[in-house]
Structure 1
Amino acid sequence: MSEWTISKKNKFPKLNKPVLIEGLPGIGNVGKVAVDFIIEELRAVKLCEFFSYKLPHSVFVNEDSLVELPSISLYYKKMKKNDVLFLVGDVQPIDEESTYTFSEKVLDIFQEFRGSEIITLGGIGLPSVPKKPKIYCTGNSPDIIKKYAFDGVDSKLYGVVGPIIGVSGLLLGLAKRRSIKAAALLAETYGHPMYLGIKGAREIVRVLNTKLSLGINLKELDSEIKDIEEEVSRKSGISTSRKKSLRRLGRMGKDVSYIG
Structure 2
Amino acid sequence: MRSNYWKTIQFGKIPKLNRPIFIEGLPGIGNVGKVAVDFLIDELKAKKLYEITSYTFPHSVFVNEDNLVELPIVEVFYKQFSGKKPDLLLLGGDVQPIDEISSYEFSENILDIVEKLEGKEIITLGGIGLADIPKKPKVYCTANTKKIIEKYKSDLVSNKLYGIVGPIVGVSGLLLGLATRRNMEAISFLAETYGHPMYLGIKGAKEILNILNKKLELNIDINKLDREIKDIESEILKKTEQLSEVTKQIALKKFQKKFGKDVDYIG
TM-score (norm 1): 0.89
Q: Could you tell me how far 1:11 is from its partner in structure 2?
A: 1.5
Q: Look up the match of 1:158.
A: 162
Tell whether 2:186 aligns with 1:182: yes
Q: Look up the match of 2:8.
A: 6
Q: Look up the match of 1:221.
A: 225
Tell whether 2:96 aligns with 1:92: yes
Asked if 2 retains the 8 angstrom alpha-carbon contact of 1:62 and 1:254, the reply is no
Range with greater deviation from structure 2 (160-169 or 216-225):
216-225
Q: Could you tell me how far 1:220 is from its partner in structure 2?
A: 1.4
1:85 counterpart letter in structure 2: L
Q: Which runs of 4+ in 1 moved over 6 A?
A: none
Total equivalences in the alignment: 240
Distance 2:238 2:65 in 1: 8
Q: Note the alpha carbon deviations across 1:5-48, whole angstroms, 9 max, x for none.
A: 21012211111110000000000000000000110001100001
Aligned residue for 1:187, secondary structure, equals: strand
Distance 1:7 1:223 in 2: 33
Distance 1:138 1:255 in 2: 29
- The runs of 5 or more residues in structure 1 that have no matched partner are 226-241
Q: Note the alpha carbon deviations across 1:160-189, whole angstroms, 9 max, x for none.
A: 001000000000000001110000000000
Q: Look up the match of 1:231.
A: none
Q: Look up the match of 1:238.
A: none
Q: Look up the match of 1:41.
A: 43
Any residues of structure 2 matched to 1:127-142 within 5 Å, and which?
Answer: 127-142=131-146
Asked if 1 retains the 8 angstrom alpha-carbon contact of 2:98 and 2:170, the reply is no
Taking structure 1 as reference, are residues 254 and 9 closer, same or farther at Cα in structure 2, changes over 3 Å only? farther
Aligned residue for 2:173, secondary structure, equals: helix
2:86 counterpart letter in structure 1: N
- Indicate which of 217, 233, 251 corresponds to 1:246: 233
Aligned residue for 1:130, secondary structure, equals: coil
Distance 2:115 2:52 in 1: 17
Aligned residue for 2:240, secondary structure, equals: coil
TM-score (norm 2): 0.87
Distance 1:190 1:149 in 2: 25
- Indicate which of 108, 118, 122 corresponds to 1:118: 122
1:52 counterpart letter in structure 2: S
Q: Note the alpha carbon deviations across 1:60-97, whole angstroms, 9 max, x for none.
A: 01111111000000000002410000011100113100
Range with greater deviation from structure 2 (214-223 or 10-19):
214-223
Tell whether 2:175 aligns with 1:171: yes
